[in-house]
Each structure stands twice: as C-alpha cells, then as structure tokens.
Structure 1
C-alpha cells in the first residue's frame, strides 16, 4: 500500500508543480488570474465502511481553482487600453458567442471596432448621433472617425450682476447708440455660431432707466438687432428687479426669456436665419461693480476628430478640434455569483457554466461593479515570491514521496533476502 500512497503523492506534487509553473509562466500576462491546486485524501471503501483506525491510500487532485483577486494597475500609452478596478469582466463577442475576460488590451480594427489581440470585439451600449447612450442591449462597440458638423446657436444664457448705483440714463434725452458708450451703462459680448459654424459676436447692452429698471439691447457684429414688429427700431426688452435685487419675472418682458432673430441675408455667410432664445433670468442687481457671472451658448463650429477618451464609467468619447466631445458608446461589465465556476477558455478568456451562474450586466461604477481606468492595464495577480516558495515546497514533497518509495523498496528487499 505504501507504494500506492507514495505514487499518488508523486502525481499530486507533479500536478502542483504544473499549476505553479503555469502561474509563473503567466506572470506577465495582462489580466491573468493565478490558479491553485486543491487536493483531497483518499480512503479505500469496504463493505463494512470506514473505521477510526483506517489508513488512507494517498491523495488526489480535487480541483484547480482560479484566484480572482485584483491585480496591480499599470499605466500605458495606449488610450484604448482599459483596466478594471474592482469587480467585473469585459464582455467579448467571438463571432456571435460570448466570452469574458479581464484583459483590457484593445485597439481599433479596420472597421472601427474595439477588438483584442485575437480579434474578439468588446461589447457595450451604443450611442446615437447626438451622443445619447442606448442601454437596450449590448453590442460590439464601433467608433466613427468622421468630423463633427457645425451647430448653429439656439440658446444663449446670460447672468450679469448690474450695479444699482449707476446713474439713470433718460430715454428721451439720450437714445441708445451701440457706438456711444455714454448711452448705455454696461456691456458684454459672447461668440455665437450660425448654421455653417461661422462665428459672430453677440453684444448685450444694459441701460439703467430707473431704480430697479433696465433696458436690454442686443447687437450682432456691431449692428443692433431689429425689433421684430418694426425693423426700423432696435429690439429692446425691459428688466425689473425687486428690493432684494432679484429679477421680477411678473413685470419683466417675456419673463426674462426672449427670442432674437437675424435675417440670414444680413449675415453674409450663406447661412440660414439665425434665431435663438436669449435667457436673462439669472441677471441680478446689487450695490457692487458690474460683473458677468454666467455666460454660455450651445452652438459650435465644425471640428475634426483629435482623440478618443474613456472615462471611469466606461463612456467612450470622441474629442474634436472645436472643443466639443461626443459619446460614442459605453463599455458594459459582467459579474457572476460564483466566478470560481467559470471555465478558462484560453486567450485570457472565460466561459460561463451552470456553476458560475448567469451573467449580470452593468456599467462601470454602478452597484457592485468596479470602475475602469483608460490608458492602463491590470497586471497578473501572480505573487512571484509566493509562487517560488510554493515551488520549493512542492519539490520537497515530491522528493519525500520518492523517498517513501525508496524506503518501501528497501523493506521489500529485506524480506526477499530472508532465508
């Protein structure tokens, strides 16, 4: 029986060395998860069952389990490299079949798909032409490298702080003139865009007409915008403020939001009519110097693609030369109730099984899912120091079992030599 025990020990130590050797060999494999050999003792079964004085007949390899601990994250120079920090697997499309991986070494193929070294496509949620993510069903992520078209301004928001100490300018004696600074109290400007992406300067003039009463005039490229009802007159809107300096929407023209329209023919660019909503609700009046606290508009000129970025929530954004960015998709992650039940499929991929449970989809940063780090990769979680110590231990176990065979052989030789 000692021969059988020692032989099983030799086999077990050999298997253990195989597992350790595989871990060491993959110490530089991105996203690799180390394995460990798990053993069980073996007892001979009898008709009468087992008793407390039974002697085992050796050991056997019970399982080789993956260790899904977090690997260190290393920074790379590839913006498409992605590391998962926390729980989750990448969902990869292998010609219609789905596999899972922690290897985030991705690049664009000739068709614009994000793929790994084996050509498997990374899946996620697609985005529409306006950058809105459609979280209906995951599909292979495809990036477009086309330029972004110009967008004409449709909204301008202005939030100035007007100086209540400024002197009143009488309408009758001092009519407004954009070229005469004595006819207005404050002025500011912002760049806006027509339908072709051409830049125009929108100037806003504030004229104090009385306590808590201000007229607002606008001019485009130095020319006062006309009144929609009488183009011979400049367009003017009156703002009223309460004792606290807040805008009084009940008295203020159009409740602080009015439309500005400029005939396209006067733009001189071939663009369509420029019409936008001008929001002055955030304007206030205080006893301090004039300041422009809030100013924004939603138009932009055309732009060419300059780069791609991936944020911690897995949103892939295309960045353009006009300082705009637009989402082109979002990476999805997958988690399992029992990751130990996954089956290695080679190429740093895993397959789901009945033991792993069904995959649960989610986006990076959501409940129970880790975040992603772009321009970085997850190293193998192999501890080389520990593996080398385990290798020495396994070697000694192998030698000890070999010694058991040698000792048993010596005992048998003694018996054979007895006369």
Structure 2
C-alpha cells in the first residue's frame, strides 16, 4: 500500500485534534478565568534509507542522505496562562487576580484545587464558596448581620455590621503560584490540580514577592482571542483538506496501477 496514505492519515488525525482544541477555546470564550489551549505538534519517526554523512566512497560523503518521514502527531496541549482582560462588575464578591497566582478551593475529598475564577458566593452557613458550592481555602465565614464586605488588594477581608462603622477582619485570601502553571491538570469547573510537571505550590500574600493583587468588584475574562481562533480554524480546515487531497491522489495512483498493469 502507498506510504502516503498512512502519512496523510496521521495528518488528518492531528488536525482533527487541533480542531477539537480550537472548538473548546471558542466554547469557553465567555468563561471567567478560562485559559486557552494550544495544540503542540511533532513529526514522527523517520525511515533512514541513506544515512546523512555516510561514505559514498573513500573520499566522499553524503551531504544530506535520504530520510522519509512517516507523519505527525499531537504531542500535547499547552495551556496559555496570559492574563485576560479585567471587567469591572461592582459586585462585592467578584474577585480578579491582577498578575500571577491562583485562588485555592477545597475539594470534597480534602484535596486543594486552584482557580483564576473569582465569582464567589455565600452559602447557608455564611462561608464563602465558588459557583459549585466548594469552600474557599482558607475558609472565610461571614458573620450574620453583615451588610458590607470589603476585600483589599492584599487579600484581607473585612465585614461591616449594621450600625457599627468599625470593620471586623474575618480572614485573608492567600494566593498560590507554580513554577510551571502549564503543567497543571485541568479538571473542569475552572479548577486545576497540582501535578509533578507543575511543581509544588508556592504560597504568598497578594501583592508581595511577585504575586498578583486581588481586585474586588472585578472579574478576569477568558484570554481567548476569537479572531485568532477563527484564523486558526481556517488554517486547520485547509490543512485537513490538503491531507484529504493526498489520500485522494494516492488512491488515484493505485487505481491507475491496478487498471493499467
């Protein structure tokens, strides 16, 4: 069978994964704190039929040789942690991180997850939770009768009681950073988990030692650039069509051989 059929098959498969990545980016263009993915391609093994630098005779060597590639594959997806645009909402429990860092979320199994989504709410016990009802870490409880909450750029949370002009500090948000944020595992729900590739979490105070500041009444939009994704989608479509054309051409060549010889 013609080798080009198998080579173009790998191209079709790789572009299909690329399109899936692009579609996920576009689907999350309005997701708060979402970070876009980029597919990473690599070429496959080569059939070395003439070794580069091999001796053709005692005095001469091959300048390049003969190497035939067998296709391409998607080696992985790279999460792009560039900061999205900031949107002012004027909601007291909307938080954005201006710079590096992640908020911490406590999972039901006791593990800690990390997020850039600062859309917080208050549950029936007065605890601050994310949109899925998971507790924030460290846990911050809002006292009954609180009519105003302020959150400073350093993460300190103050509550104002009705009739009392003096605030009460009820907690502080810490931020966590990683040496390689792209190595975090995406688990959905705007959450990430630590992996061996991400490195150990580095705790810090917002606004100190390279950590970003916390902005109250603000949300970080998705960093998906719709125009860029549309261009990538068009490119992917054309490359897919070209690989399909290779399959058609190889088939035509085989058809000619079988009908002529």
Asked if these proteins are the same fold (TM beyond 0.5), I'd say yes
Structure-2 separation of matches of 1:413 and 1:53: 27
CA distance in 1, matches of 2:89, 2:143: 23
- Tell me if 1:62 matches 2:61: no
Secondary structure of the structure 1 residue equivalent to 2:245: helix
Deviation readout 1:218-268 (Å, 9 max, x if unpaired): xxxxxxxxxxxxxxxxxxxxxxxxxxxxxxxxxxxxxxxxxxxxxxxxxxx
Show the 5 A alignment for 1:39-78.
Answer: 39-44=41-46, 51=52, 52-78=65-91
Question: Secondary structure of the residue that 1:60 maps to in structure 2?
Answer: strand
5+ residue gaps, structure 2, are 53-64
Shift of 1:418: 1.3
Alpha-carbon distance between aligned partners in 2 of 1:12 and 1:49, rounded to the nearest angstrom: 28
Quick check: 2:118–2:130 contact (8 Å CA) kept in 1?
yes
Choose which of 153, 158, 174 in structure 2 pairs with 1:317: 158
Determine whether 1:145 maps to 2:144: yes
- Superposed CA offset, 1:82-138 (max 9, x none): 011100001111121110011111000011111011111111xxxxxxxxxxxxxxx
Query: Quick one: distance in 1 between partners of 2:111 and 2:51?
Result: 48
Taking the aligned partners of 1:363 and 1:339, their CA distance within structure 2 comes to: 18
Change (3 A) 1:370 1:49: farther
- The structure 2 residue matched to 1:109, chosen from 123, 142, 161, is 123
CA 49–367 in structure 1, closer or farther in 2 if over 3 Å, else same: farther
Deviations 1:347-396 (A, max 9, x none): 11011011111101111111110001111111000000000000000000
Q: TM-score, normalising length from structure 1?
A: 0.57
Matched, 1:356 2:191: no
TM-fit CA distance, 1:78:
2.2
Q: CA deviation at 1:308?
A: 0.7
Following superposition, the deviation at residue 45 of structure 1 comes to 5.7
Deviation by residue 1:193-231 (Cα, 9 ceiling, x = unmatched): xxxxxxxxxxxxxxxxxxxxxxxxxxxxxxxxxxxxxxx
Q: How does 1:116-155 map to 2 (within 5 A)?
A: 116-123=130-137, 139-146=138-145
Gapped runs of 5+ residues in structure 1? Answer: 124-138, 147-304
d(CA) in 1 for partners of 2:166 and 2:8? 70
Question: Alpha-carbon deviation of 1:318?
Answer: 0.8
Q: Calculate the TM-score normalised by the size of structure 2.
A: 0.90
Partners of 2:20 and 2:214 in 1: CA distance: 33
Q: 1:333 aligns with which of 164, 175, 178?
A: 175
Q: Secondary structure at the match of 1:307?
A: strand
Q: Distance in 2 between matches of 1:81 and 1:348?
A: 15
Higher strand proportion (structure 1 or 2): 1
User: Which of the pair has more CA radius of gyration?
Assistant: 1
The Cα RMSD (Å) is: 1.5
Q: Post-superposition shift, 1:55?
A: 1.1
Question: How far apart in 1 are the matches of 2:90 and 2:122?
Answer: 15
Shift of 1:322: 3.0
Alignment correspondent of 2:210: 368
